[in-house]
Each structure stands twice: as C-alpha cells, then as structure tokens.
C-alpha cells in the first residue's frame, strides 16, 4: 500500500483554490479511479497520465489506484491537473520521494508522449499558491516567465515529464528535443489561446516602439477639437465618454487612440490585467506581462454573457473584464441589445462583476473606461443640414432611446462629433497634437489627482464619491452656481451633479489649478449636457 500527495490549483474565475492531489495504491485488480468533482476534461486525464508515465520510461503501478482531488466541493476543470496527478501517482509508487512532493505545486497538461503542454491561467494560479503559503511551483517551460512574475516563489519550468522525474530523483537530466526549427510557431502554444478569440483581442491596437506607425496617433485625427479635448479629459480622470455623430466623422479613430494617451499600467495593475487575459486565453505568447492599458471593442451583436462574462459551467471573463484598467469601446452602441447594455450599469458603478451560476459565484474585476459611439439616427444624417435624412421623427426618437437614461446618466462626457470640414481634411488647419504630447498632460493631471487622493481608497477623480467632493475637497466659492441652477431646472440629476463636479476637478487638474473654478465647472457642464456654452473655446489649447 502506497500513498502520496502533491498540489495543484483550481481556478474559479480569476481566483484560485489550492487543490491537494492524493494518490492511493492498494492491492487488487488494476484500475484507475478519479474522484473530487472533476469535469470531463479532467476525467480524461486518466488516459493521458497513464500514457505519459509509460512513455517517459517509468513503470505504471499494476494495482488499484485512487486519485482524490481535495477539497471535493470545489469544481475542477481543465487539463492543468495532469502533471500533479502523474507525480502523485509516481510518489505513491515510490518512484519519486513522497516527502519531496508534498508541498510542491504542479500545473500543466501532459501529452501522450510525456511532453508538458502549457495551460491558461498560470499567473492567477501561482498567485493563489503564493497566497496559500507555497513557495515551489512547477509549470510548463513556455509559461515559466508568466509564473516568475509572482515574487518570492521558486519556479521550475519543464518541457517533459521525463525531465521532471530526473530532477525529483536526482538522476541524470536527459537531453530534450529542441523543438521546431527557429521561425516556425511552437505547436505547444496552441493550448494558451481560446479558438476564435484572436491574438489581439483585448489588447490596444498597434504595438509600442519601433516605427511611428506602429500605434495610432492623435495627430492623425483632423479637426474635432472639442472631441479631442473630451478624450483628454476622459483619459485624465477616467470618465466615461459618449460620441454621437454622423458616419465618417472620426468617432472610431478617436476611440482607438484613447489607450495611447493613458499612462502605462502600474505593476499591480499589470498583474491584474495579465491574470484576466491569461484565464481568458488571449495572452500573447512571449509577452508574459501586459504593460499597456487593454482595449476591447466587441461587435454590436455581442450577447450579454459575452459582455459581462458567463458561459456554461464556471463563468469566464467577458469584455468588461478584458477591458479592466483599459478601454471598452462600444461602436454602434444603439445597435447593441438593450439588455446587454443595461447589464453594464453595475460594473460601471462598482468596478467589478458578480456572476452567479449553478457551478458557483464568481467575482471578476471590471474597472474600465467606457466609450460609446452612435449615429444620431438609422441613416446617420439626422444632424447634417441638407443631407437628406428621411428618418421620421418617431424613428429617430426610438433609435436614440435604445440607449437608456440610467445608462447615459453614468456617462460623464457627451460630445457631438461634427463632420470634418474641407479645410481640416486638406490639412489647412494644421496638424493636431500628437498622442505623446497629450499623454504628458494626462500623466501630469493624474499625478496631481494622485497626490490629492493619497491615503484614500480612490485613485481617479471619477471614483471619488460626490459627498467627499462637496465636503472634503470643495470647489471655489460660487463655482457651482450654474450647475445648481441646472439641477433646479431638472436638466441634471443628483448623480449628474456629482459627475459634473468630478469632471470639473479633472479639468482643473489639466489646467494646473488647486481647485475647480467657475470656468472649470462650465466646461464640465458643457461636456456633460452636450449643450455648447462657449466654455470649451475659452480653455485654449488642450483643455
């Protein structure tokens, strides 16, 4: 009779639970039983593990074998338990020392030939193991750089079970096949990507560095001075933005350039974003850490589950989580299903999504900057003079009503994007500021806000409760007079007044002021209501 145990990690959303893999050998008819609430993929690991052990040169024990995954109440899915199951079985058969593997966390899928294949979710799994007190992990070699992002954890990357057995038994480490010739994609990396997700889904368009054409630049946008300033305010304060205008005015161009005026992610934010992308299966191979704010632009046919997360079994991250700490762009917003759009209201307020399913409850991060873009009517020519819009007024009202009032009430900035003029298109108005110049102002504004909010749970002006802005950080005397009149007239709700105050603080930060003045509040009102008041033209360059 032999017994051994090793450890692995079960992922529930982006959170991990350390699972103890116990192997027990007893005299009897040779059989392999796997218990502990495994899914179908994990049940099939019995055949993968047996073939991998034999093809790695080790003898398979011809006894009654029972492998238990504890705690049994936690659902376990995927092939990432293969390596732990194989080592636990070899420990019970005394091929490896059972004491040497008791506190070893092993994550990886096994091929029939004994090669260790990479799996998704390595970073959150190793984070969970580190938080539980484990300090030694074994992962596929292709995922070693991702696992090494977790501090104070010793990471061993292996390409084959044969090599791991040699390391655990202090034997001679065999030479391994170097793999495919240079220049050819590694077929082992196929397990890291969800089929159909695409390599760049959830990442900002373009790549930093290299040629200047490697990433979208704000200088490419002609005209649109008001929209450009609104984009800068949105980036500086983390305010949600709604762009309305005819087709071809540049709404999509503006949204695609927003990630490149946002500051790079901090180390903590990078780890959070990388963990979500790793679980979702869209982390690009060779880039273990996402350093730029992500950009996610789902098609307007996206379902509610694809936006907020869900699916069969344990819920998976949706678009709002893939855009965590970045930009979620909903182009043709009026074409989205109303239920899908209204499902965004909770994450817009709380910064996370809670999904309840029969398999469990999952909490996913969703602190994103939302950009909505929509045409004014089905044909898009409603706001153009003499353009021949034939949409009846009732059709225009119904089309615009697809964006519900409660959703728009959570959007701080609303901008009417005008058609590009002939002089702007021909470059007669001069080239606009580049993303680099605007990004510097955004960074400085965020540094001012961070210094003011130091020691509080908030990082951006858009996160500060209105009560705090009215009592702890007050605007200049009389600055809110116009906004208070708009509240009395019913043009602003109480939430709207708080959001105007937040935007006013961002405008003040961009202008280098200690606190908002009447002009800053007027700019915030103009951006909030979409009604031109002349304040934007008084702010000069930038904001």
| pLDDT tens string 136-157 | 999 999 999 999 999 999 999 9
Lowest mean pLDDT among 191-195, 262-266, 384-388, 400-404: 191-195
Q: Of 496 and 104, which is predicted with more confidence? A: 104
The string of DSSP codes covering 298-329 is --TT--HHHHH-B-SSS-B--HHHHTTTSEEE
What share of the chain in percent tops pLDDT 70? 87
Residue in the structure block whose two tokens are 């039983």 = 33
Q: How far apart are CA 125 and CA 158, in angstroms?
A: 17
pLDDT at 204 over 60: no
Lowest mean pLDDT among 80-89, 457-466, 523-532: 523-532
Strand partners, 4: 23
Nearest partner of 160 among 111, 125, 122, judged by Cα:
111
Tens digits of per-residue pLDDT, 397-448?
999 899 998 899 899 999 998 888 777 676 655 677 899 999 999 999 999 9
φ/ψ of residue 238, rounded to 5: 70, 35
Of 5-9, 197-201, 536-540, the range with the highest mean pLDDT is 5-9
Q: Give the pLDDT band of residue 192 (cuts 50, 70, 90).
A: low
Q: Give the pLDDT band of residue 106 (cuts 50, 70, 90).
A: very high
The two three-digit tokens of residue 245, written as one number: 């205008």
Q: Using N-to-C axis directions, what is the helix angle for 82-92 and 45-55, rounded to 10°?
A: 60
Strand order in the sheet with 327-330: 295-296, 327-330, 369-374, 241-244, 413-416
From the number of C-beta atoms within 10 Å of its C-beta (0-12, 13-18, 19+), residue 473 rates as middle
pLDDT at residue 12, as a whole number:
86
pLDDT at residue 178, as a whole number:
60
Average pLDDT value for residue range 310-321: 81
Q: What are the residues whose beta carbons fall under 8 Å from the beta carbon of 327, sequence distance 6 or more?
A: 204, 255, 258, 259, 262, 293, 294, 295, 296, 368, 369, 370, 371
Average pLDDT value for residue range 361-383: 90
The two three-digit tokens of residue 413, written as one number: 């900035």
pLDDT at 201 over 60: no
The two three-digit tokens of residue 41, written as one number: 């993929």
Beta strand pairing status for 109-110 and 116-117? antiparallel
Q: Residue length, the chain?
A: 543
Q: Give the pLDDT band of residue 208 (cuts 50, 70, 90).
A: very low
Q: How far apart are CA 438 and CA 503, in angstroms?
A: 17
The reported pTM is 0.88
pLDDT at residue 185, as a whole number:
59
Q: How far apart are CA 436 and CA 11, in angstroms?
A: 39
Strand partners, 310: 316
pLDDT at residue 386, as a whole number:
64
pLDDT at residue 491, as a whole number:
82
Q: What are the residues whose beta carbons fall under 8 Å from the beta carbon of 263, sequence distance 6 or more?
A: 439, 442, 443, 446
pLDDT at 212 over 60: no
pLDDT at residue 510, as a whole number:
95
pLDDT at residue 533, as a whole number:
66
Q: Give the pLDDT band of residue 177 (cuts 50, 70, 90).
A: low
pLDDT at 49 over 80: yes
pLDDT at 357 over 90: no
Q: How far apart are CA 483 and CA 479, in angstroms?
A: 8
Q: How far apart are CA 134 and CA 438, in angstroms?
A: 44
Q: How far apart are CA 67 and CA 70, in angstroms?
A: 10
Radius of gyration of the chain from its Cα atoms, rounded to whole angstroms:
28
Q: How far apart are CA 521 and CA 507, in angstroms?
A: 8
Q: What are the residues whose beta carbons fall under 8 Å from the beta carbon of 222, sequence distance 6 or more?
A: 250, 420, 424, 425, 427, 429, 432
Average pLDDT value for residue range 242-258: 91
Tens digits of per-residue pLDDT, 260-303?
999 999 999 999 999 999 998 888 767 789 999 999 999 999 99
pLDDT at residue 541, as a whole number:
44
The string of DSSP codes covering 230-267 is HHHHHHHHT--EEEE--TTSSHHHHHHHGGGGSPPPPH
- Rounded to the nearest integer, the mean pLDDT of the chain is 87
Nearest partner of 292 among 417, 207, 167, 409, judged by Cα:
207
The two three-digit tokens of residue 222, written as one number: 């002609």
pLDDT at residue 209, as a whole number:
39
Nearest partner of 510 among 437, 449, 424, 433, judged by Cα:
449
Q: Of 260 and 538, which is predicted with more confidence? A: 260
pLDDT at residue 293, as a whole number:
94
The string of DSSP codes covering 447-485 is HHHHHHTTTSS--SGGGS-HHHHHHTSPPPTTTTHHHHH
pLDDT at 198 over 50: no
pLDDT at residue 78, as a whole number:
87
pLDDT at residue 186, as a whole number:
66
Average pLDDT value for residue range 336-354: 92
Q: Give the pLDDT band of residue 505 (cuts 50, 70, 90).
A: very high
What share of the chain in percent tops pLDDT 90? 59
- Residue 202, helix vs strand vs coil: coil
Task: Answer whether 389's CB lies under 8 Å from 246's CB.
Answer: no
Lowest mean pLDDT among 54-63, 275-284, 503-512: 275-284
């Amino acid at each position: 009779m032999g017994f051994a145990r090793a450890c692995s990690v079960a992922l529930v959303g982006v959170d991990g639970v350390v699972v103890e893999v116990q192997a027990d050998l007893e005299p009897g008819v040779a059989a392999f039983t796997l218990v502990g609430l495994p899914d179908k993929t994990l049940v099939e690991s019995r055949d993968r593990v047996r073939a991998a052990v034999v093809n790695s040169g080790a003898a398979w024990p011809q006894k009654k074998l029972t492998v238990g995954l504890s705690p049994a109440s936690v659902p376990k899915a995927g092939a990432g338990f293969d390596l732990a199951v194989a080592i636990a079985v070899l420990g019970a058969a005394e091929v490896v020392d059972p004491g040497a593997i008791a506190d070893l966390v092993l994550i990886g899928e096994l091929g029939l030939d004994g090669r260790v294949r990479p799996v998704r979710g390595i970073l959150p799994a190793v984070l969970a193991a580190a938080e539980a007190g484990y300090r030694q992990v074994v992962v596929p070699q292709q995922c070693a750089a991702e696992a090494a992002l977790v501090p104070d954890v010793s990471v061993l990357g292996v390409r084959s079970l044969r090599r791991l057995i040699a390391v655990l038994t202090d034997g001679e480490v065999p030479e391994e096949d170097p793999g495919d010739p240079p220049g050819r994609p590694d077929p082992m990396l196929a397990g890291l990507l969800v089929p159909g997700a695409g390599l760049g889904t959830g990442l900002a368009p373009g790549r930093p560095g290299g040629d200047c054409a490697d990433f979208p630049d704000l200088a490419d946008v002609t005209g649109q001075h008001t929209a450009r300033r609104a984009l800068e305010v949105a980036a500086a304060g983390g305010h949600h933005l709604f762009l309305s205008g005819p087709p071809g005015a540049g709404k999509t161009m503006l949204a695609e350039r927003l990630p490149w005026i946002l500051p790079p992610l901090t180390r903590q934010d990078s780890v959070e974003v990388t963990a979500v992308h790793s679980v979702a299966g869209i982390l690009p191979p060779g880039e273990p850490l996402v350093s730029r704010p992500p950009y996610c632009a789902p098609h307007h046919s996206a379902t509610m589950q694809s936006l907020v997360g869900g699916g069969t079994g344990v819920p998976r991250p949706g678009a709002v989580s893939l855009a965590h700490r970045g930009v979620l762009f909903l182009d043709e917003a009026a074409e989205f299903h109303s239920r899908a759009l209204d499902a965004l209201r909770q994450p817009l307020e709380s910064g996370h999504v809670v999904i309840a399913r029969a398999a469990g409850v999952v909490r996913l991060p969703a602190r994103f900057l939302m950009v909505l873009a929509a045409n004014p009517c089905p044909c898009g020519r409603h706001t153009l003079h003499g353009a021949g819009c034939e949409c009846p007024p009732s059709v225009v009202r119904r089309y615009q009503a697809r964006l519900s009032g409660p959703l728009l009430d959570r959007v701080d900035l609303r901008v009417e994007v005008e058609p590009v003029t002939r002089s702007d298109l021909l470059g007669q108005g001069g080239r606009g500021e580049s993303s680099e110049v605007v990004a510097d102002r955004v960074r400085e504004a965020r540094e001012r806000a961070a210094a003011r909010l130091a020691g509080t749970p908030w990082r951006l002006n858009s996160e500060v409760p209105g009560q705090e802005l009215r009592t702890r950080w007050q605007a200049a005397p009389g600055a809110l007079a116009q906004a208070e009149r708009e509240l009395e007239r019913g043009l602003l709700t109480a939430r709207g007044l708080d959001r105007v105050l937040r935007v006013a603080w961002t405008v003040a930060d961009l202008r280098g002021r200690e606190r908002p003045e009447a002009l800053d509040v007027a700019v915030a009102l103009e951006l909030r209501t979409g009604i031109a008041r002349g304040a934007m033209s008084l702010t000069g360059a930038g904001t």
